[in-house]
Chains A and B, each alone.
Chain A
Amino acid sequence: MSVVRLPGLITTDDRVSGPPSRWDYAADRTFRALAQTGVWLILILLGVILWEIGGKATAGIRDYGLGFLTSTTWDVGRQQFGILPHIWGTLYSSLLALAIGGFFGVVMAIFLTQDFLPPQLAQVFRTVVELLAAIPSVVYGLWGLFVVVPALRPVAGWLFETLGWIPLFGTTLSGPGLAPASLVLAIMILPTVAAISQDALRLVPYKVKEAAYGMGTTKWEAILKVMLPTAATGIFGALVLGFGRALGETMALAMLIGNSSQISLSLFAPANTLAALLALNFPEAGKREVEVLMYAALVLLAITLLVNMAGEAIMALSARKTKS
């Protein structure tokens, strides 16, 4: 809206709206160019990162090929490397953490936004939940080591004795392992998922909720059948971010996963993840090991890509189902 001055004609307010001025058009074009630059910067950033990692990884890829993905030895002395246990551990721990943290995060979000608590109290808890995202992962690692592992040990022992024939509980918990790591990871991503889901739910227009109640739904019917589907894309975004965080988490997992190159279905066995592998070995790695670690980093990015694509496919399928 440009300002057109008509002195003398209008006494109270000289501003009258008119067509955009030349300055407005110029500002418009600049802004759009800036926005496009922002998008290109993201693409360039990813490109540069891939180029950096890929550049260092090519030697590793050339020498180890696809066998890298299926071998289970990691022996620096004999220059034999394989990341199958790490891929397994990454997927197992992250998906488990996403299932637990994602579920509880969304439930928390519903709990805090759908009038289960007085509004001021809900706001306080919302802030507290967001704060938890600020706790450094080292602290989560320490908490896991000093609180979660001792607390889990008796439970794990009981499960092993009574249900040990189920592969999930096939070993005892000798200290760090998959279960403590996944639990702590779930706690770490819960604030992210909860905070973004809360926003998604609060952005659902009030009219939609009122319409549902007007039709006579119970509170939960309104939530499950109307609010959640409307907020679905936002909640899905929350899950994507949470999953990304779970995949890339290094410090806390390094302390809690047990770092053993075994593949086991048991929740209590030690395992290993790609991110922890990178964090623990990169500082001391020699040239050859760096190449191999960069190869592993590429694999991790590829996994993120694949799981995200799978998630989007699932969302698209369910959207099609609700539409039809």
Chain B
Amino acid sequence: MIIKIIMNTDLFYREFGKILKRLRVAAGLTQGELAERIGLSRTSVTNIEVGRQKIPIHFLFILSSTLGVDPVQLLPQKEKLSEQYPETKGFSEVLRDNPDLNNAGQNWLSRVLKPYLTEEHDNEDEKGRKGS
């Protein structure tokens, strides 16, 4: 069994949302004002800021030019995202419930819970070890 190095997309959009919110506030805009300028509903902006709504790539440019920042500034730090995450539903729920955990904490938790929460085994890792 291996832990795939994957990007936790939920985490990506949550991080993205946090950054967006920070930059929006810094630009002195309300959610409603930003929504109007980029042609979305206020609810959409709210959802984007909490990571519930996943935006198309071109919105990165619309948002950055509206906020007067470089598009890169809207992107989360890679270190925060490419961690070892088990893919089980249970585990992502665990992380969601514990947003305060840093990477070391998440890794530790992953090592603790992964053996128990995995329902499907990774076939690649099982190659050559069948029957063991």
A and B interact = no
Chain A residues engaging chain B, CB cutoff 8 angstroms: none
User: Which positions in B face A, CB cutoff 8 Å?
Assistant: none
